[in-house]
Protein backbone atom coordinates (compact mmCIF):
# COMPACT_ATOMS: atom_id res chain seq x y z
CA UNK A 1 0.00 0.00 0.00
CA UNK A 2 2.81 2.38 0.94
CA UNK A 3 4.56 1.86 -2.41
CA UNK A 4 1.31 2.43 -4.32
CA UNK A 5 0.69 5.67 -2.42
CA UNK A 6 4.25 6.84 -3.00
CA UNK A 7 4.00 6.06 -6.70
CA UNK A 8 0.63 7.84 -6.96
CA UNK A 9 2.07 10.93 -5.27
CA UNK A 10 5.14 10.87 -7.51
CA UNK A 11 2.92 10.57 -10.57
CA UNK A 12 0.73 13.44 -9.35
CA UNK A 13 3.82 15.59 -8.78
CA UNK A 14 5.12 14.72 -12.23
CA UNK A 15 1.81 15.76 -13.77
CA UNK A 16 1.97 19.13 -12.02
CA UNK A 17 5.55 19.66 -13.17
CA UNK A 18 4.66 18.83 -16.75
CA UNK A 19 1.68 21.18 -16.69
CA UNK A 20 3.94 23.91 -15.40
CA UNK A 21 6.41 23.17 -18.20
CA UNK A 22 9.33 22.68 -15.86
CA UNK A 23 12.40 21.27 -17.65
CA UNK A 24 14.07 18.35 -15.94
CA UNK A 25 10.90 17.32 -14.09
CA UNK A 26 12.18 13.74 -14.41
CA UNK A 27 13.79 14.10 -10.99
CA UNK A 28 10.34 14.13 -9.33
CA UNK A 29 9.86 10.42 -10.14
CA UNK A 30 11.85 7.91 -8.10
CA UNK A 31 10.94 4.39 -9.21
CA UNK A 32 12.09 1.56 -6.98
CA UNK A 33 12.59 -2.14 -7.58
CA UNK A 34 9.15 -3.73 -7.22
CA UNK A 35 7.25 -0.67 -8.46
CA UNK A 36 5.04 -0.98 -11.51
CA UNK A 37 6.81 0.54 -14.50
CA UNK A 38 4.90 3.30 -16.26
CA UNK A 39 3.81 2.67 -19.84
CA UNK A 40 5.80 4.62 -22.40
CA UNK A 41 6.15 5.01 -26.14
CA UNK A 42 8.31 6.86 -28.65
CA UNK A 43 9.32 6.75 -32.29
CA UNK A 44 11.96 4.12 -32.98
CA UNK A 45 14.71 4.00 -35.59
CA UNK A 46 12.19 2.84 -38.23
CA UNK A 47 10.00 5.90 -37.66
CA UNK A 48 7.26 3.76 -36.09
CA UNK A 49 5.85 4.11 -32.59
CA UNK A 50 7.37 1.60 -30.15
CA UNK A 51 5.08 0.90 -27.18
CA UNK A 52 6.11 -0.84 -23.97
CA UNK A 53 2.51 -2.09 -23.63
CA UNK A 54 3.06 -4.33 -26.68
CA UNK A 55 5.55 -6.42 -24.68
CA UNK A 56 4.03 -6.52 -21.18
CA UNK A 57 3.18 -10.06 -20.14
CA UNK A 58 5.27 -11.49 -22.98
CA UNK A 59 8.86 -10.30 -22.53
CA UNK A 60 11.35 -8.95 -20.06
CA UNK A 61 11.93 -5.35 -21.16
CA UNK A 62 15.39 -3.80 -20.90
CA UNK A 63 15.31 -0.02 -21.25
CA UNK A 64 18.73 1.53 -21.30
CA UNK A 65 19.18 5.29 -21.46
CA UNK A 66 22.38 6.72 -22.90
CA UNK A 67 23.61 10.26 -23.64
CA UNK A 68 24.32 10.25 -27.39
CA UNK A 69 24.67 8.21 -30.57
CA UNK A 70 28.19 7.59 -31.94
CA UNK A 71 30.11 8.52 -28.78
CA UNK A 72 32.67 6.35 -27.00
CA UNK A 73 30.88 4.88 -24.00
CA UNK A 74 27.51 4.79 -25.75
CA UNK A 75 28.99 2.85 -28.64
CA UNK A 76 30.57 0.28 -26.29
CA UNK A 77 27.27 -0.10 -24.46
CA UNK A 78 25.33 -0.62 -27.70
CA UNK A 79 27.93 -3.10 -28.98
CA UNK A 80 27.59 -5.11 -25.77
CA UNK A 81 23.85 -5.47 -26.20
CA UNK A 82 24.32 -6.24 -29.90
CA UNK A 83 26.79 -9.02 -29.16
CA UNK A 84 24.63 -10.54 -26.39
CA UNK A 85 21.30 -10.08 -28.17
CA UNK A 86 20.92 -13.69 -29.37
CA UNK A 87 21.23 -15.04 -25.82
CA UNK A 88 18.99 -12.33 -24.37
CA UNK A 89 16.32 -13.00 -27.00
CA UNK A 90 16.33 -16.71 -26.07
CA UNK A 91 15.54 -15.61 -22.51
CA UNK A 92 12.47 -13.66 -23.71
CA UNK A 93 14.19 -10.29 -23.45
CA UNK A 94 13.51 -7.26 -25.63
CA UNK A 95 16.07 -4.44 -25.49
CA UNK A 96 15.54 -0.78 -26.35
CA UNK A 97 18.12 1.97 -26.20
CA UNK A 98 16.77 5.45 -25.46
CA UNK A 99 18.43 8.82 -26.04
CA UNK A 100 17.50 12.35 -27.05
CA UNK A 101 18.84 11.77 -30.57
CA UNK A 102 16.53 12.00 -33.58
CA UNK A 103 15.21 9.08 -35.61
CA UNK A 104 17.66 10.07 -38.37
CA UNK A 105 20.60 9.93 -35.96
CA UNK A 106 19.46 6.53 -34.69
CA UNK A 107 19.25 5.19 -38.24
CA UNK A 108 22.87 6.23 -38.83
CA UNK A 109 24.11 4.84 -35.48
CA UNK A 110 22.26 1.55 -35.94
CA UNK A 111 23.67 1.07 -39.42
CA UNK A 112 27.19 2.06 -38.35
CA UNK A 113 27.28 -0.44 -35.47
CA UNK A 114 25.03 -3.16 -37.01
CA UNK A 115 22.70 -2.97 -34.03
CA UNK A 116 20.02 -5.65 -33.76
CA UNK A 117 17.59 -3.93 -31.40
CA UNK A 118 15.47 -0.77 -31.47
CA UNK A 119 16.58 2.73 -30.52
CA UNK A 120 13.95 5.19 -29.29
CA UNK A 121 14.11 8.88 -30.14
CA UNK A 122 13.22 10.62 -26.87
CA UNK A 123 13.66 14.07 -28.39
CA UNK A 124 11.42 15.81 -25.84
CA UNK A 125 12.49 13.80 -22.78
CA UNK A 126 9.04 12.24 -22.22
CA UNK A 127 10.33 8.69 -21.78
CA UNK A 128 13.12 9.87 -19.46
CA UNK A 129 10.55 11.86 -17.47
CA UNK A 130 8.22 8.87 -17.16
CA UNK A 131 10.98 6.69 -15.70
CA UNK A 132 12.60 9.43 -13.63
CA UNK A 133 15.85 9.62 -15.57
CA UNK A 134 17.61 12.99 -15.21
CA UNK A 135 18.35 14.89 -18.40
CA UNK A 136 19.56 18.26 -19.58
CA UNK A 137 18.31 20.35 -22.46
CA UNK A 138 20.26 22.45 -24.93
CA UNK A 139 21.58 21.75 -28.40
CA UNK A 140 24.59 19.45 -28.62
CA UNK A 141 26.19 17.81 -31.63
CA UNK A 142 28.43 14.87 -32.51
CA UNK A 143 30.44 14.45 -35.70
CA UNK A 144 30.42 10.89 -37.03
CA UNK A 145 31.59 9.07 -40.15
CA UNK A 146 30.70 5.73 -41.67
CA UNK A 147 31.58 4.31 -45.11
CA UNK A 148 32.73 7.74 -46.31
CA UNK A 149 29.51 9.41 -45.12
CA UNK A 150 29.98 12.27 -42.66
CA UNK A 151 27.14 13.21 -40.34
CA UNK A 152 26.55 15.97 -37.83
CA UNK A 153 24.20 14.45 -35.26
CA UNK A 154 22.29 17.08 -33.30
CA UNK A 155 20.15 16.64 -30.19
CA UNK A 156 18.38 18.90 -27.68
CA UNK A 157 18.01 16.38 -24.83
CA UNK A 158 20.89 14.55 -23.14
CA UNK A 159 19.98 11.84 -20.62
CA UNK A 160 22.00 10.21 -17.88
CA UNK A 161 23.16 6.63 -18.45
CA UNK A 162 20.60 4.55 -16.52
CA UNK A 163 19.28 1.03 -17.17
CA UNK A 164 16.00 -0.58 -16.13
CA UNK A 165 14.92 -4.21 -16.33
CA UNK A 166 11.14 -4.67 -16.31
CA UNK A 167 9.64 -8.08 -15.58
CA UNK A 168 6.89 -9.77 -17.55
CA UNK A 169 4.50 -8.68 -14.81
CA UNK A 170 5.34 -5.03 -15.51
CA UNK A 171 7.27 -4.51 -12.28
CA UNK A 172 10.80 -3.17 -12.11
CA UNK A 173 13.30 -5.98 -11.49
CA UNK A 174 16.41 -3.78 -11.53
CA UNK A 175 17.36 -0.12 -11.74
CA UNK A 176 20.99 0.82 -12.34
CA UNK A 177 21.93 4.48 -11.98
CA UNK A 178 25.69 3.84 -12.06
CA UNK A 179 26.00 1.95 -15.33
CA UNK A 180 29.39 0.82 -16.60
CA UNK A 181 28.76 1.14 -20.33
CA UNK A 182 30.84 -1.75 -21.62
CA UNK A 183 29.51 -4.14 -18.93
CA UNK A 184 25.82 -3.21 -19.03
CA UNK A 185 24.58 -6.14 -21.12
CA UNK A 186 26.37 -8.64 -18.84
CA UNK A 187 24.83 -7.01 -15.76
CA UNK A 188 21.39 -7.24 -17.38
CA UNK A 189 21.94 -10.92 -18.24
CA UNK A 190 22.68 -11.63 -14.56
CA UNK A 191 19.43 -9.95 -13.51
CA UNK A 192 17.46 -12.02 -16.02
CA UNK A 193 19.17 -15.25 -14.95
CA UNK A 194 18.24 -14.61 -11.29
CA UNK A 195 14.67 -13.73 -12.26
CA UNK A 196 14.28 -16.99 -14.19
CA UNK A 197 15.96 -19.18 -11.55
95 has a pLDDT exceeding 70:
yes
Give 10-19 pLDDT, tens digit per residue: 433 444 343 3
Q: What is the pLDDT of residues 36-52, one digit of tens each?
A: 999 999 999 999 999 99
Q: How far apart are CA 74 and CA 179, in angstroms?
A: 11
Q: Is 74 annotated as catalytic?
A: yes
What percent of the chain has pLDDT above 90? 82
Report which of residues 106 and 24 the model is more confident about: 106
- What's the rounded Cα separation, in Å, for the pair 106 and 153? 9
Q: 3.40.30.10, 3.30.950.10, 1.10.10.60, 3.30.530.50: which CATH number matches 33-196?
A: 3.40.30.10
Res. 149: pLDDT tops 90: no
Q: What is the pTM of this model?
A: 0.85
Residue 30 has pLDDT above 70, yes or no: yes
Q: Considering 26, 74, 121, 130, which one is annotated as catalytic?
A: 74
Q: What is the dihedral of CA 67, 134, 95, 10, to 10 degrees?
A: -170
Q: How much is the pLDDT for 197?
A: 86
Sequence ranges of the domains in the chain: 33-196
3-class DSSP state of 182 = helix
Amino acid sequence: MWRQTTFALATFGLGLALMAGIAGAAETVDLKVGDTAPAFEALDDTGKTWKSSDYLGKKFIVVYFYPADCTGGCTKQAQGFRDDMAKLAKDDVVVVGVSGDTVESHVFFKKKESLNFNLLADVDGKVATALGVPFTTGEKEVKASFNGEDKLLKRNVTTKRWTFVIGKDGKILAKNTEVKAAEDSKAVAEVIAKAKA
